[in-house]
Structure formats: C-alpha cells, structure tokens
Amino acid sequence: MHSILVIDDDPELAAMLGDYLTPEGFSLRITGSGLEGLSMLGSGSFALVLLDVGLPDTNGFDVLAEIRSRSQMPVIMLTGRAEDVDRIVGLEMGADDYLPKPFVPRELLARIRSVLRRSRLTKTAAAPHSGRQITIDDLLMDRSARSVHCNGEPVVLTFAEYTILEMLLDAGGSTVSREDISLRALGRELAPYDRSIDVHMSNIRRKLGPTSGGGERIITVRGAGYFYHFTDSPAPEATGAGAFIRLPGGLQ
C-alpha cells in the first residue's frame, strides 16, 4: 500500500480524497499546514505528496522548494488558480505534475499512478544498465546511480527531467517526438496546449547550461520534437519542417 501525504487545508477535498483513494490501495495522511507537512515528511515514509498551492500558513511553492532541497520525492501540485503561470512555476520548481481544481477524482488517480509508475521505472531502470555511463563532452550520466554531472558538478533533476534527458541521449542525436516524451516521461498522451514538456525542457536547459563550446545542448525541431546536439560545433540551421525554433518566454 502506498502512503500519500496530502498538504491541503480544504476539509471537503481531504474527505473526498480519503473516500476515493483508500479503496484504491492508498493510505493518506492529511494536514492543512505546510509547515506541519514538512515536519511529517521528516518523520514518515511517503511515496508521493499532493501539495496545494494556497495554504494558510505558507506558500505551496515554498513548501515545494523545501521538499526539493531534501529529496526527489514525487510531488503533484494542486492549484485552484486558473493562471497557467502558477502551473508553470510549479513545474519549474520541480513538481512532477499538476492538476487544477476542481478535478475529477478519477483523473487524479490516473495522475498519481502515472507519477508513481514513472518513479518506480526510473529507479529500477538502472539495473539492466548497471555500470553504464553516457559521456558527451562535459556531460556524464551514470545510470547505475541515476545521477547526472555537468562540467564536474552534480545536476539535480526531477524524475521527469532525468527521463527526458535519458531519452534524448539514448536517441544518439536523432529527434525524439513530443508524443514519445509525454508518454514515457509524463505517463500520459500529449494533450493540446499542454506546455508541461516545454517547461521540463526549459528546466533541463537551464540546469545544464550551454556546452563547453558555448552552443545549445537541446535543439527544438518544429513539429517534430527535440534532439541532443552531440558536437561542440554550432548546430546546423535547419529549414522547412525540420527547423528548430525558440518559443516565447524562454520556453523551447
């Protein structure tokens, strides 16, 4: 049975989550306080955190930042705000997924199972590749340790970010489609107007920085997906259907 920590001050929502998730094999510990939730994390063992953005004693983003400073435990943000910027900020700060309120309980269950499955697969995927390392210029991915170093420094990635980077490196310079990334890294089919992949990709680019030669590591291919640029030479200027572009707001 998976234990889930719910940090949300809405008693009706908490009751609904208990009624719906408990029969599905989940045990819940619930608190309406962000500070108490952080304390509970230090004293308990949880598979996942459901975290509300709006809390009475602290900001949900601050709680997320503190969780990320401690561990890579899967976190799904719950937000009652309609603005896309709140969801994007959550993903940028390391949330594994988000769900706007109000939501259908069945969709939340699907998101929880998807994130937990993704987390489990990422942890166990190292076994078949035990000892295997991928080295490209100043980037080192060690599958056995599920770690990434860039220019000799450790890079902290979320489960989704690590999976995306691994997919790009495994592709050996070939383009990986957004559909494939969504299915494997996010555990769901690609939805129209969903910018989650864009945000995760932007996070990876920011964390890795440019190559030692000053070029971009990850190239966006319009209408196709992304590929990792394996050389230090400037990426060729693509044209037509294969052109790569830079999207507004720093997202690519």
Of the two residues 230 and 227, the one the predictor is more confident about is 227
Q: How confident is the model at residue 64 (pLDDT cuts 50, 70, 90)?
A: very high
Residue 124 vs residues 47, 59, 120, 145, 146: alpha-carbon distances, Å: 15, 33, 6, 11, 10
> How far apart are alpha carbons 120 and 89 in whole angstroms?
25
Structure tokens at 122: 């990422």
> How far apart are alpha carbons 206 and 224 in whole angstroms?
22
> How far apart are alpha carbons 111 and 249 in whole angstroms?
27
Count of alpha carbons within 13 angstroms of residue 127, beta-carbon side: 4
Hey, what amino acid is at 222? Answer: R
Tens of pLDDT, residue by residue over 109-162, are 999 998 888 777 655 544 444 448 888 889 999 988 888 999 999 998 888 899
> How far apart are alpha carbons 229 and 235 in whole angstroms?
7
> How far apart are alpha carbons 207 and 116 in whole angstroms?
24
Q: What is the mean pLDDT of residues 188-194?
A: 81
Least confident range of 27-36, 43-52, 85-94: 85-94
Q: Beta strands 75-79 and 48-52: pairing type?
A: parallel
Structure tokens at 58: 């602290």
Scanning the structure block, which residue is given the tokens 């997906």?
Answer: 225
Domains annotated on the chain, with CATH: 2-124 (3.40.50.2300), 133-250 (1.10.10.10)
> How far apart are alpha carbons 175 and 38 in whole angstroms?
40
Q: Is 65 helix (H, G, I), strand (E, B) or coil?
A: helix
Q: What is the dihedral of CA 102, 108, 112, 117, to 10 degrees?
A: -130
Q: Specify whether the CB–CB gap between 10 and 60 falls below 8 A.
A: no
> How far apart are alpha carbons 241 and 221 in whole angstroms?
8
Scanning the structure block, which residue is given the tokens 């971009």?
Answer: 216
Residue 251 has pLDDT above 70, yes or no: no
pLDDT of the residue at 172? 86
For the chain, what percent of residues have pLDDT higher than 70? 85
Q: Specify whether the CB–CB gap between 36 and 63 falls below 8 A.
A: no
Q: How many CB atoms lie within 10 A of CB 217?
A: 21
